[in-house]
Structure 1
């Protein structure tokens, strides 16, 4: 069988050689640096050697080169604490009162006056670091210190960025969403020490940060495998890194993509694929916050919308000492993804989560079905390390080659190969729209249970219910087409149904997974991203607000427009399904 040929062709030795080369010869792959350029050239050369059509692209990116910081406790007792400046931080030196706000989300600021103070925040807990910095800046704080994950004695300091805009900023985002404050990272051990001090009385600190921020030329690498058709799967992962080897993040991912590209290029040359494969080695993911994947989505918009069947993100595969496979996807791929992964892994535990906007998830606006997966730890292990689900060494200088295990990397390669094989060879794509409809309907029902004057959420629920029926019929038609014997009838139905499913995803993925919609990018760590139809997140708060308040008046404007966006998308999806079903009924 051809897939068995794929598995036999996969070479752990080749992937491991890539991993060793990257971590040993090209460490510290910070965007805009010489080593980042060398990494792009290495990926390009290896793809060309494998037979892909490969290219590098250079463009400006707003990146950062942070340096060690100085953190000194002034009161109640002198103490020096090791710290590192966060990327995109202001360069500054200041003294101020330290205030511990725990996770440092908006709710933690209630009743607190942080103006002129330095906020101490726990990195592991939501919101993300970028959002913590934005909130602190908007609340008037003078600085930010983030305490890392790990056990209570962990001394690792996490590198990270506070650049909130996803991708290169627009003029508006540059002014509104770029935190202008000094920020530094410290270890979990020292963070707990500072928390205890703050709990006992006033704490004053001296904080000095230094970072070189600015626009630099950055280079990404992309490749194409031609299967003789216009359709393709996009497989990507970031190739830039923080200081040091950064083996799991994401040298291992780059190694996997290079090996998978080599194997699937050979399959294409044998005529075994019905769809092509495109690769993206993203740059300026870390210090620049997803710059090149965002640019790729913008520049290749037409082709992605027309021909791309999905986006597979490969980030941090092969983590040592892991025992659980963590899956993330849009709802339309959940059933297929969990099934084929379980078949590949056997008895290994699986966890599935709705894919939110992290990593290089820059393609929700395009409307791509998305999937990702990696090996992680048990719930108990994660809880014991303050949510270090990627290892206590993640984003630190301790992310060395031994953090990747060969057997774990080989397992990830086999899983990714299975996903890619099916997405490139199945006549009918494994997309299901009924689960998407169910998730949308459930969310709209939640909102309808809390009525807001003059916003017809009941009408939106009816639209969603009508679409759910059509989606169920569309999925059933796809199931029937999958059962047809190979031949012209199956091919015709597959072409027809695939087009309908992809057109529906183009409409509903931006609705289900973005705040701003198709043509923008939500900022990194936006808290609303956790919810289905993120634009409706304020619904409960506005429904419970005083009808004479400004909060209600302004929230109403936001939500009525979000509701209108919902019904337009549902109407469009229903029309696609009706048109798709019409010729199948005759």
Structure 2
């Protein structure tokens, strides 16, 4: 029996439900820095020690926000009070509130503002995954809006109000990005009330008064962690994470993920003598309101270990939602072959592939160059339309996120899938990256960027040759797997090349953290894409033109260095 079969047979759904039930029913909502969070993290650490013999809680400062109260009063064309909740990391209103005309702007993306004078208006938007909540707020602030109202997704008759935050800074702010903190009042309302308000806006002028309060403060975070040590002497490890802090009753988001994470730790510990790599289990604090606060702190504080040894990150969140039927996985291109093959093995269907972009799922490790993956079943397109694109369920971040919203049979399938991926990453003799796919993706991104280069095309053409050389080298490296080469050497080389991919995955570069839900991160070579747009928009030979020309050149050189470094590694090690 191979180790995956041992893992699969050992996984206990009863154990998963035991831990999930404690977090949902005995703790419930657990915001970072609260007594409920302390109770949850102590329980998880105790269970880690029980399951593996090891466990600790890391404590560290984290920038947090707590919601106060909110109100929304319709002033014209009639008097009406609408239930509302404040979003976190907002500017609180004065006691008298903020008064203004409401304008409905769909998802709240840039395209929705076309031809609209949003200055001093109160913007009403739908909750949607793109742009994400923080990005909606950033855009509204940039457009001069007075305030933002976000109506929940879900069925049109739903009175649930989704909680959340609009902090665009990923993790703790720095002296350089603190000035980018959004200064805007944002509140949430139900889908039912939102559609009523939207309809009224289409018929007449609507004026409202908003009152909302939320804090901004530093707290001490609590983050359980434990590593199951293998018998291998290579120091390599797989990182597995799930967030503990949560809104509402938290079954879907994310007691289900924490419970599976604990069970995986127990199973790995039982078979640790057969593991080829260590497995580190972390239970993130600060995922929700601090926007990746815990996972960013982990990257900053354990950078050397991650850079030298971390093979991949498995994110566990939003599992087995009742009514979802489509297996979906997101990740980086070099993991696609393995991740999609696993769907066919476990579910007997092709499933859906999503390219992972920085901005959700504790994706704090793109800069260091650790490949990311996250799996969950999804709604059909038809069901999403019915639920107004409630991708992570209509119950997300509400008191209705209860255990009955978890499909038990589907939970078993999720456990099998994540177990299979963990086995592949922890026990394959050669790390299961497809390096040819990585090279092809780099070439594709380069082609997308050069196609829109405009007047900068000549500035970029010097890299055409090295991009093609990189692609060829990655293909050659992939082919070496079938040849007589030391697996340890090939693995080290693969990790070194992975660490040189930040420019193709981040806007903020290797050591920064892109903003939460930033649309720019979805672009090919995000920093270069942005600079090219500014350069091409500038008046020729103007001051701005020369500033952005310089920036294009410098980012081009960063791209060159990453590609050239990987090529040199390959040439030095294998010729």
Pairwise TM-score range, normalised by the shorter structure = over 0.9
What residue in structure 1 maps to residue 59 of structure 2? Answer: 58
The equivalent residue for 1:579 is 572
Match of 1:365 in 2: 367
Cα distance in 2, alignment partners of residues 461 and 245 from structure 1:
52
- Measured in 1, the distance between the counterparts of 2:225 and 2:408 equals 26
Pair 1:108–1:321, CA change in 2 (3 A): closer
Partner SS state of residue 280, structure 1: strand
What is the CA distance between 1:125 and its match in structure 2? 5.3
In 2, the alpha carbon distance for the partners of 1:390 and 1:550 equals 46
Aligned-residue offset at 1:577:
2.2
Measure how far apart 1:562 and its partner are: 2.1
1:225 to 228, 248, 264: 228
1:521 lines up with 2:513 in the alignment: yes
Are the aligned partners of 1:444 and 1:460 in contact in 2 as well (CA < 8 Å)? no
Deviations 1:205-224 (A, max 9, x none): 01011223311111111111
Of the three residues 88, 105, 108, the one matched with 1:104 is: 108
Deviation readout 1:328-375 (Å, 9 max, x if unpaired): 11111111111133112223x510111112120000011101111111
Match of 2:27 in 1: 26
Spell out, residue by residue over 1:407-450, the C-alpha distance to the aligned partner (whole angstroms, 9 max, x if none): 11111111111111121111111112221221221222233334
- Residues 7-36 of structure 1, C-alpha deviations (whole Å, 9 max, x = no match): 111100000111111100111110111011
Indicate the residue corresponding to 1:564 in structure 2: 557
Q: Work out the CA distance in 2 between the residues paired with 1:166 and 1:266.
A: 36
Whether 2:424 is the aligned partner of 1:422: answer yes
Change in CA separation of 1:3 and 1:447 when aligned onto 2, cut-off 3 Å: closer
The residue aligned with 2:120 is: 116
The aligned residue for residue 341 of structure 2 is 339
Residue matched to 1:318:
320
The 8 Å contact of residues 52 and 224 in structure 1, kept in 2 or not, is answered as no
The within-5 A match list for 1:473-488 is: 473-480=476-483
**Match of 2:99, SS?**
strand
In structure 1, the residue matched to 2:79 is 78
- Do the aligned residues in 1 keep the contact of 2:436 with 2:474 (CA within 8 Å)? yes
In the TM superposition, residue 570 of structure 1 has moved relative to its aligned partner by 1.0
Consecutive unaligned residues of structure 1, counting only runs of 5 or more, are 482-491
Partner of 2:304: 302
Higher mean displacement: 85-94 or 451-460: 451-460
Following superposition, the deviation at residue 72 of structure 1 comes to: 0.9
Query: Which residue is equivalent to 1:485?
Result: none
Residues 553 and 403 of structure 1: CA distance in aligned 2, closer, same or farther (over 3 Å): farther
Q: How much has 1:521 moved relative to structure 2?
A: 0.2
Q: Determine if the alignment matches structure 1 residue 466 to structure 2 residue 458.
A: no
| Residue aligned with 1:171, SS | coil
Cα displacement string for residues 134-174 of structure 1 (whole angstroms, at most 9, x for unaligned residues)? 22223332211111111322222111101110001112222
Between Structure 1 and Structure 2, how many residues are aligned?
Answer: 566
Counterpart position of 2:527: 535
Instruction: Measure, in 2, the Cα distance between the counterparts of 1:41 and 1:557.
Output: 52
- Cα deviation code 1:390-414 (max 9, x no counterpart): 1111122211111111111111111
Preserved contact between residue 52 and residue 265 of structure 2 (Cα < 8 Å):
no
Deviations 1:28-80 (A, max 9, x none): 11011101111111111001011242110112211122134100110111121
Partner of 2:152: 148
Structure 2: 5+ residue stretches without partners:
none
| Mean Cα deviation higher: 3-12 or 536-545 | 536-545
Match of 2:192 in 1: 189
Aligned equivalents of 1:52, 1:235: Cα separation in 2: 17
How far apart, CA to CA, are the structure 1 residues paired with 2:51 and 2:144? Answer: 53
Contact 1:447 / 1:540 at 8 angstroms: preserved in 2? Answer: no
Q: Distance in 2 between matches of 1:68 and 1:411?
A: 40
Report the RMSD for the aligned CA atoms in angstroms. 1.8
Report the Cα distance in structure 2 between the residues aligned to 1:199 and 1:289, rounded to whole angstroms: 34
Task: Determine if contact 1:74/1:204 at 8 Å carries over to the other structure.
Answer: yes
- The 3 A distance-change label for structure 1 pair 554 and 197 is farther
Q: How does 1:167-566 map to 2 (within 5 A)?
A: 167-175=171-179, 177-228=180-231, 229=233, 230-242=235-247, 244-268=248-272, 271-347=273-349, 349-357=350-358, 358-449=360-451, 450-453=453-456, 455-480=458-483, 493-508=486-501, 510-538=502-530, 539=532, 542-543=535-536, 546-548=539-541, 552-566=545-559
- Measured in 2, the distance between the counterparts of 1:370 and 1:394 equals 23
- Matched residues in 2 for 1:439 and 1:542: separation? 25
CA contact (8 A) 1:445 1:461 kept: no
TM-score under structure 2 length normalisation:
0.95
Name the CA distance, whole Å, in 2 between partners of 1:333 and 1:558: 32
Q: SS of the residue aligned with 1:28? A: coil
| Superposed displacement of residue 322, structure 1 | 1.5
Q: Could you tell me the TM-score, scaled by structure 1's length?
A: 0.93
Per-residue CA deviation, residues 483-533 of structure 1 (Å, 9 max, x unaligned), is xxxxxxxxx61101000111000001x122100111010011111111232
1:368-391 residue CA offsets vs partner (Å, 9 max, x unmatched): 011111111112211222221211
Q: Is the 8 A contact 1:441 1:461 kept in 2?
A: no
